C-alpha cells in the first residue's frame, strides 16, 4: 500500500492546460474517486499517477518518494482501462499471467498467483477460455485480475464499468469494493457517474475544466458543496441567486431579488463558512437540496416559511417531485411517497419551509469557464 501526493501539479498539451494547480493527498488504502464531466482532466491526472504522462509542473509522490519522472513499469501500479485492453485471442490465464511473465516470475509462483487472482474474481473455471468468448462483465473481471496479480501498491481504474449494462454495473461495483478490501489496496477510481462516486468512495475529488474544486467524503461533497458547480453536478439542488442584506452575530439575512419582489432568507453564518464567504468577489447563491425542504398545508410559526402554489407534480415511485412557485421563483421539493394519491396537485396553495440548518451560501463560479 502506498499514499499518493500531488503537489501543485500542472499538465499542458501545447496550449491546452488539461490539469492545473492540483494538490491531492490520497491516504494508504483509501478508495478515492476522481469525478467530473467529460474532458475535465480526470484521465490525465490518472495517467500522471500511472506514469504514462509526466507533469509539466509539480511533483507526484508515492509514500513521500518522488515519482514524478519514474517510468510506468517502475511504479508498481495496476491499471484497468475503460476498454479493458485485453489480448482477445489469448486465454484468460495468459492474459492474467502477462504482467508476471514480463516481470520474469518463476513458473510455479506464476501459476499460483494467477490461480489466486482468478479465484478472487471468480473466474477459475474460465482459465482456458479465449477472452473473445467472454461476456463484458467477465472481461472486466479478467482486466481486474490482470491488474491485481502483480500485487500493485496502487490500483488505477479508469471508468471501468462504462461498457456494462446497468445490472452488471451494480454487481461489479460490489465486486470491486470487495476486492479493494481484500487486497487493502490504495485505489483511484475515475468516473463521471455521481451515483457511482457517492456509493463507492471513501473520498471524492470533483473536477471541472482541469481544476479540482473540492475534495471530501461523499456526505461532505453532497451536504457541503464548495460552489455551484459541485452542488449541481452531484444530485439535484435548488440554487437561489441572492445578495447579502445584513450580517448579524449568528445569522445573515440574504435577499433574492425578483423583479419588484424580494424574498428574504435567514442563513446561519456557518452555512457560508463564517464570514469568509462575504469576502468573495463572486456572486452568491443559497443552495438547498429538494429533500431538505418541507411542504406545509398551513403557515406555521418559524423562519424561512414562504407562501406558494404548486406548479407541477411528478411521480417517481418512492419520491414525488413537487415544483412550488414562490413569488415567481420555482422551488423543487422532493417528498417521500407517503401521502394518499392526489394529495399534491397543480394549483394547490401551500407553504414551503427552508430549514436554516439545511441552507448553504455558496459562490457562483459557473460563469467562469475558460
Ligand atoms: N494527449 C493529449 N493531447 C492533447 N490534449 C489532450 C490530450 N489528452 C487530453 N487532452 C485534453 O485535456 C483535457 C482533459 O482531458 P482528459 O482526458 O483528462 O479528460 P477526462 O476528464 O478524463 O474526460 P473523459 O471522461 O471524456 O475521458 C481535454 O480538454 C482533452 O482534450
- 242 has which bridge partners? 284
- Whether 177 is covered by a domain: the verdict is yes
Mean pLDDT, the chain, integer: 91
Asked whether the predicted pLDDT for residue 207 surpasses 90, the reply is: yes
CA dihedral of residues 260, 261, 264, 265 (deg, nearest 10): -120
Judge contact between 190 and 46, C-beta under 8 A.
yes
Distance CA 105, CA 99 (A): 9
Ligand 1 atom nearest to 192, measured from its CA: 25
* Same domain, residue pair 215 and 244: no
* Same domain, residue pair 206 and 344: no
Query: What mean pLDDT comes out for the span 11-34?
Result: 96
- Whether 327 is covered by a domain: the verdict is yes
Q: What is the CATH number of the domain that holds 322?
A: 2.40.50.100
Please report, for residues 26, 32, 276, 290, the alpha-carbon distance to residue 216 in angstroms, rounded to integers and kept in the order given.
11, 10, 19, 21
CB of 36 within 6 A of ligand 1: the answer is: yes
DSSP strand pairing (203-208 vs 31-35): parallel
Ligand 1 atom nearest to 11, measured from its CA: 12
Ligand 1 atom nearest to 53, measured from its CA: 1
Fill in the DSSP letter of residue 27. Answer: P
Query: What mean pLDDT comes out for the span 133-150?
Result: 88
CB of 42 within 6 A of ligand 1: the answer is: yes
ipTM attached to this prediction: 0.95
pLDDT tens-place string over residues 144-154: 899 989 889 99
The residue ranking higher by pLDDT, 141 or 214, is 214
Considering 228, 255, 274, which residue would you say is the last residue of a domain? 228
CB of 235 within 6 A of ligand 1: the answer is: no
Query: What mean pLDDT comes out for the span 319-337?
Result: 95
CB of 11 within 6 A of ligand 1: the answer is: no
* Same domain, residue pair 21 and 96: yes
* Same domain, residue pair 214 and 89: yes
CB of 241 within 6 A of ligand 1: the answer is: no
Chain-centre distance of CA 99, in angstroms?
A: 30
- Whether 154 is covered by a domain: the verdict is yes
Give the residue whose CA is nearest to atom 8 of ligand 1.
Answer: 44
* Same domain, residue pair 186 and 80: yes
- Whether 370 is covered by a domain: the verdict is no
pLDDT tens-place string over residues 215-247: 999 999 999 999 999 999 999 999 999 988 888
* Same domain, residue pair 220 and 240: no
> In angstroms, what is the span from residue 91 Cα to ligand 1's centroid?
32
* Same domain, residue pair 187 and 284: no
Please report, for residues 4, 19, 25, the alpha-carbon distance to residue 11 in angstroms, rounded to integers and kept in the order given.
17, 5, 18
Predicted structure pTM score: 0.90
* Same domain, residue pair 263 and 168: no
- Whether 95 is covered by a domain: the verdict is yes
Asked whether the predicted pLDDT for residue 274 surpasses 70, the reply is: no
> In angstroms, what is the span from residue 13 Cα to ligand 1's centroid?
9
Residue 91: give the domain boundaries: 4-228
Residue tagged 394529495 (cell numbers): 343
Judge contact between 32 and 87, C-beta under 8 A.
no
Considering 186, 211, 228, which residue would you say is the last residue of a domain? 228
DSSP strand pairing (154-158 vs 77-80): parallel
Q: Tell me the three cell numbers of residue 9.
A: 501539479
* Same domain, residue pair 22 and 71: yes
Judge contact between 11 and 19, C-beta under 8 A.
yes
Range from 69-73, 223-227, 230-234, 366-370 carrying the lowest mean pLDDT:
366-370
> In angstroms, what is the span from residue 46 Cα to ligand 1's centroid?
11
> In angstroms, what is the span from residue 17 Cα to ligand 1's centroid?
9
Considering 166, 193, 228, which residue would you say is the last residue of a domain? 228
* Same domain, residue pair 241 and 149: no
Enumerate helices (H) and strands (E) in the chain, giving the number of each.
8, 20
* Same domain, residue pair 198 and 249: no
Give the residue whose CA is nearest to atom 31 of ligand 1.
Answer: 39
Give the residue whose CA is nearest to atom 6 of ligand 1.
Answer: 13
Number of domains into which the chain is organized = 2
* Same domain, residue pair 108 and 8: yes
Amino acid at each position: 500500500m502506498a499514499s499518493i501526493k500531488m503537489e501543485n501539479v500542472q499538465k499542458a498539451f501545447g496550449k491546452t492546460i488539461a490539469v492545473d494547480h492540483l494538490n491531492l493527498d490520497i491516504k494508504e488504502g483509501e478508495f478515492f474517486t476522481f469525478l467530473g464531466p467529460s474532458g475535465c482532466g480526470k484521465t490525465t491526472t490518472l495517467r500522471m499517477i500511472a506514469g504514462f504522462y509526466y507533469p509539466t509542473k509539480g511533483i507526484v509522490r508515492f509514500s513521500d518518494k518522488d515519482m514524478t519522472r519514474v517510468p510506468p513499469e517502475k511504479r508498481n501500479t495496476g491499471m484497468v482501462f475503460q476498454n479493458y485492453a485485453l489480448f482477445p485471442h489469448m486465454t484468460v490465464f495468459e492474459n492474467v499471467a502477462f504482467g508476471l511473465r514480463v516481470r520474469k516470475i518463476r513458473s510455479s509462483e506464476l501459476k499460483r498467483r494467477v490461480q489466486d487472482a482468478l479465484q478472487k474474481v471468480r473466474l477459475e473455471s474460465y482459465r482456458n477460455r479465449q477472452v473473445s468468448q467472454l461476456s463484458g462483465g467477465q472481461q472486466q473481471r479478467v482486466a481486474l485480475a490482470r491488474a491485481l496479480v502483480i500485487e500493485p501498491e496502487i490500483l488505477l481504474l479508469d471508468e471501468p464499468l462504462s461498457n456494462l449494462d446497468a445490472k452488471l454495473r451494480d454487481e461489479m461495483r460490489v465486486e470491486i469494493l470487495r476486492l479493494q478490501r481484500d487486497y487493502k489496496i490504495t485505489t483511484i477510481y475515475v468516473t463521471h457517474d455521481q451515483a457511482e462516486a457517492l456509493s463507492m468512495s471513501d473520498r471524492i475529488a470533483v473536477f471541472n475544466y482541469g481544476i479540482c474544486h473540492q475534495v471530501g467524503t461523499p456526505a461532505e461533497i453532497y451536504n457541503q458543496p464548495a460552489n455551484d458547480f459541485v452542488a449541481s453536478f452531484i444530485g439535484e439542488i435548488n440554487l437561489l441567486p441572492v445578495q447579502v442584506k445584513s450580517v448579524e452575530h449568528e445569522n445573515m439575512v440574504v435577499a433574492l431579488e425578483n423583479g419588484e419582489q424580494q424574498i428574504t432568507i435567514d442563513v446561519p453564518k456557518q452555512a457560508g463558512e463564517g464570514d469568509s464567504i462575504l469576502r468573495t468577489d463572486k456572486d452568491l447563491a443559497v443552495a438547498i437540496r429538494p429533500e431538505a425542504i418541507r411542504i406545509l398545508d398551513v403557515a406555521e410559526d418559524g423562519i424561512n416559511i414562504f407562501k406558494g402554489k404548486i406548479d407541477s407534480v411528478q411521480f417517481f415511485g418512492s419520491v414525488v417531485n413537487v415544483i412550488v412557485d414562490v413569488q415567481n421563483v420555482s422551488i423543487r421539493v422532493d417528498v417521500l411517497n407517503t401521502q394518499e394519491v392526489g394529495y399534491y396537485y397543480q394549483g394547490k396553495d401551500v407553504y414551503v419551509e427552508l430549514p436554516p440548518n439545511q441552507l448553504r451560501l455558496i459562490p457562483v463560479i459557473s460563469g467562469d469557464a475558460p
